[in-house]
Amino acid sequence: MSVNDDTTSSMLKRLADDPMLVLNKMASENGSLDLGLGFPNFPPPHHITQALSDAATGNNFTLHHYTSPYGHPRLVNVLAKLYSKFLSTTLDPTDHVLITIGAFQGLSSICQSLIYPGDEVILLEPFYAAYKTMLEMRGAVPVYVPLRPYKDGGEQSSANWVFNTAELQKAVTSKTKAIFLNTPMNPLGKVFDKKELREISDLCVKHNLLCVADEVYERLIYGGKQHTRIASFPNMWQRTISLGSAGKSFSVTGWKVGWCVGPKHLIQVLQNYHFSAIRTSPTPTQEALAVAFEKEMHVMNTPESYFQTISKELELKRNRLCQYLNKAGFNAITPDGGCYIIADISNILAHAVGKDKISEEALDYRFAKWAVTEKKLCVMPLSIFYSEAHRYMSEKYVRICFLKTDETLEKAKEILDEWKQS
């Protein structure tokens, strides 16, 4: 077999044309304002960097060496305590928790060890783009169920986007292995409510499905909304892996520490895979995060909690950027969680790139390229979070990140104000 015939290698070649990579490259080459990717351009809280500094310069030299393969004991201990509280059960740090190199590696390990070639996996659209790639690389088959806004026009919120129950039920076949649930959702910012989670959990229980609950944005929730863990629903603990990310929770995306929490029979498979493919995650960052979580446990639900501070600050940033976008002719869909705003560009699309399809390229992608080139503003086309079949649902939207300093948001305002005038 020649290299070109191999499905995986041709897929990997195609990934080089990923719009996210292309737009990022264009933006960094021409110095555009980058609201494309979801990382903070502000420092983490001092007590967290101090904890890392202490880990690196303190007397405990063992922190510079390999720690336990499945997770640094101090970190798995505090996470087990925390999730015992969240799920009202007693978790065992060695059996129920695995530390990974970011939640990304947790997702990848799940795809490699619990999903098999030919398995069908349900993805709710718009989905975190990596799910599709990871599943396809494994030879699994993503099956797509789109969320749709139930009202058009007027003020839009991520809560208006819902799945159709009959469509979700129809997506299950004898080959369905799992459903990926991302709440709060990237890119939409939707926080699934109890009724929606109940429907998903009923489906999982009825058809004996694995539920991959990607909860990396669990700390970034606004307007008094509550994050509900699907693992806490009846009969769901034994079939759910919940994923979290230190990057998103403590504004340290570069530390790349994530975790999987779940029942022993699932975590054990992941641990075995982890030992063969990854072996051990870095020790100093795990130690520092253990210190940070221990502090959070003491101050949880008080103004001293970083989780409270960050969500309050981000809610103001969200409101501010929605306002700037709406003033410029976008129609922002206010997110209840996460760090992105989806904005409807129907009113400005034609002026920017015309209405007609002149190539296979999605209109929103053409718009995003135009915005980088002409306006020096980098945003992401929503179509990259959709399947081919449902791409038409996404072409009038872009995704914009608000996890940025107020100075950056003011620069965005200047660009948008000038845009409006021109």
Site residues, ligand PMP (CB under 6 A): 38, 102-104, 128, 182, 186, 214, 216, 245, 247, 253, 256, 258
**Smallest distance, ligand PMP to C-beta of residue 135, A:** 14
Which of 196, 211, 212, 127 lies closest to 159, judged by CA?
196
d(CA 396, CA 348): 10
Q: Looking at this protein, which amino acid is placed at residue 239?
A: R
Q: Smallest distance from the beta carbon of 187 to ligand PMP, in angstroms?
A: 8
Nearer to ligand PMP by Cβ, of 211 and 349: the residue is: 211
Determine the residue with CB nearest ligand PMP.
102
Nearest distance, CB of residue 103 and ligand PMP, angstroms: 4
How far is Cα 291 from Cα 44, in angstroms, rounded to an integer?
14
Whether residue 36 contacts residue 244, with contact meaning beta carbons closer than 8 Å, is answered with no
CB of 38 to ligand PMP, least distance (A): 5
Q: Which is nearer to ligand PMP, 219 or 366 (CB)?
A: 219
CB closer to ligand PMP out of 146 and 258: 258
The SS3 call for residue 412 is helix
Residue 149 or residue 187: which is nearer to ligand PMP going by CB? 187
Residue nearer to ligand PMP on the CB measure, 108 or 331: 108
Q: Which residues contact 307 (CB under 8 A, 6 or more apart)?
A: 219, 249, 296, 300
Tell me how far, at minimum, the Cβ of 100 lies from ligand PMP, in Å. 8
- Min. distance of Cβ 331 from ligand PMP in angstroms? 23
For residues 247 and 419, which CB has a smaller minimum distance to ligand PMP in the complex? 247
Shortest Cβ 130–ligand PMP spacing (Å): 7
Measured distance CA(172)–CA(210) in Å, rounded: 12
- Residue 156 CB, shortest distance to ligand PMP, in Å, is 21
HSE toward the beta carbon, residue 33, CA cutoff 13 A: 21
Closer to ligand PMP by CB, 214 or 344: give it. 214
- State the Cα–Cα distance between residues 184 and 47, nearest whole angstrom: 26
* Residue placing its CB nearer to ligand PMP in the complex, 104 or 293: 104
Quote the least distance from Cβ 245 to ligand PMP, whole Å. Answer: 3
Provide the token pair at 281: 């995650």
Contact criterion met (CB below 8 Å) for 402 and 384: no
What are 336's two structure tokens?
Answer: 């209840």
Work out the number of other CB atoms within 10 angstroms of the CB of residue 96.
24
Return the residue matching tokens 């995003």: 368
Beta bridge partners of 59: none
- Closer to ligand PMP by CB, 222 or 324: give it: 222
Residue with tokens 């909304």: 225
Beta strands in 16-104 (DSSP E): 33-34, 97-100
With residues binned 3-state (H G I as helix, E B as strand, rest as coil), the percentages for the chain, rounded to 5, are 50, 15, 35
Q: What is the largest CA-CA distance in the chain?
A: 65
